[in-house]
Amino acid sequence: MKMASMLLRSVRSSTLSPSWAAHSAARVLSSTAPLHAQAAQTKSKKTLARPGVKNIVLVEGVRTPFLMSGTAYADMMPHDLARAALQGLLNKTGIPKDSVDYIIYGTVIQEVKTSNVAREAALGAGFSDKIPAHTVTMACISSNQAMTSAVGLIAAGQCDAVVAGGVEFMSDVPIRHSRKMRKTMLSLNKAKTLGQRLSLLGGIRLAHLSPELPAVAEFSTAETMGHSADRLAAAFGVSRLEQDEFALRSHTLAKKAQDGGLLQDVLSFKVPGRDIVSKDNGIRPSSLEQMSKLKPAFIKPHGTVTAANSSFLTDGASAVLIMSEEKALAMGFKPKAYLRDFVYVSQDPKDQLLLGPTYGTPKVLERAGLTMNDIDVFEFHEAFAGQIMANLKAMDSDWFAQTYMGRKTKVGTPPMDKFNLWGGSLSLGHPFGATGCRLVTTVAHRLQKEGGQYGLVAACAAGGQGHAMVVEAYPQ
């Protein structure tokens, strides 16, 4: 409660007005100009290339359509989706299957049969079995970690070409027996006599058969992420209307981008036994009136986070080809963007679980020697509309910067005419392990389309962690 009251004071010191969402959404939605090709601006900004530092480039990025869990992918396995993304990347780039030095994949809820899903998917996609592969997990920034691990391998001179990606499959998550039942079953496996087995079986009680269902919850606080988002929104004074308006904005912009053919990274994928899937299926523009009818999903009856203003459980996979610029050009590729400075941050997982973008943005800008005004494209992960709005209000508060971040002044908020203009996780979907690659690939494509030079990716993650990265357009 003390933290909440302190955060509310930070809101009062913020210059964001209560009707911010309505004005910004109306301003962005009133114009489709950002969604159309713009004449490339004259790039007067300096490049972030540094003497003696290897230039690392994004050559290509792809993803399977992101589908709501329980729909067309329901009978598959995670490595099937990851394999499809890898095959799509191979087809789109034409890179020889033995020219990649390393493969890294991110995932959150692991299928125990394919715990190193990077290796299984790579073998299934036809990559050489001589290529090492490993899997990383860092909650919603798992594929961000996969990409920056790739950057590190290239920067260190270990590799010239690395494939990074991520996958999440929420249609079939592992459900375990209770701990007591697991102990009994393991003991049964070791029992040597009939008497020992009968004794163990006789100790089984009905309660032992209750399964342990997975939950999107913090281990350290036992609080679900939706509950945390609701508390954060309340602490920053984010209204239900503001959240619904932002969610509607996300779905509306995503639909325009989808209809306009701007989501170039989406692959067409033949689902075994089903039709070809070629579009994300969670994009559903509604109306504020319809959204207002939904009941709170986590804190009842007075919460403000609902199914309509939250990202939904999603199945999907992504993959990117990252190379040294020298190697990419030698192989005849035209890179899409440079991957520049990046940071990881972490905060208190109880009261500041989802504030990663607030902490990561100023740090990565300082590393790159840039300001908010230098950024042409912003792509922030939308876990919840309330989470996005809380971050924007924190970023616009001098008091919050001084009290919690050790900064003299606020970093400021991204202009909404540069922010998530092709939709975001609320509408496109959020396969936990795959979203980071989507964010970076979207920035690269938007920079090309809009003629900008610098993009900024930021995301929050469970555990109170976060990531931010600066992406620079490749000269066209």
Catalytic positions are 140, 460
Across 336-420, the runs of DSSP E, i.e. the strands, are 337-346, 377-380
The two tokens of residue 147 are 């990409």
Find how far residue 204's CA is from the centre of its chain. 42
Rounded CA-CA distance 473/476 in Å is: 8
Quote the Cα angle for 298-459-227, to 5°.
10
Contact 165, 146 (CB under 8 A): yes
At residue 342, φ and ψ (nearest 5 deg) are: -145, 160
Contact 54, 155 (CB under 8 A): yes
Contacts of 334 (CB under 8 A, 6+ apart): 474
Find how far residue 55's CA is from the centre of its chain. 24
- Burial-class residue 50 by CB neighbours within 10 Å (0-12, 13-18, 19+): exposed
At residue 410, φ and ψ (nearest 5 deg) are: -65, 160
**72: phi > 0 → left, psi -120 to 50 → alpha, else beta; which?**
alpha
The two tokens of residue 7 are 């955060």
Helix (H, G, I), strand (E, B) or coil at 323: strand
Q: Could you identify the residue written with the tokens 């299928």? A: 111
465-473 vs 337-346, strand pairing mode: antiparallel
Q: Could you identify the residue written with the tokens 């899903």? A: 117
Contact 262, 449 (CB under 8 A): yes
Across 116-252, the runs of DSSP E, i.e. the strands, are 133-136, 161-168
Contact 107, 164 (CB under 8 A): no
Q: Could you identify the residue written with the tokens 């690392």? A: 56
Rounded CA-CA distance 303/373 in Å is: 35
At residue 226, φ and ψ (nearest 5 deg) are: -65, -40
Query: What Cα–Cα distance (Å) separates residue 466 from each residue in 105, 245, 310, 469?
Result: 18, 25, 18, 11
- First-residue to last-residue Cα distance in the chain: 52
Query: In terms of DSSP H, where are the helices of 303-384?
Result: 325-330, 356-368
Query: What Cα–Cα distance (Å) separates residue 40 from each residue in 119, 210, 371?
Result: 40, 60, 21
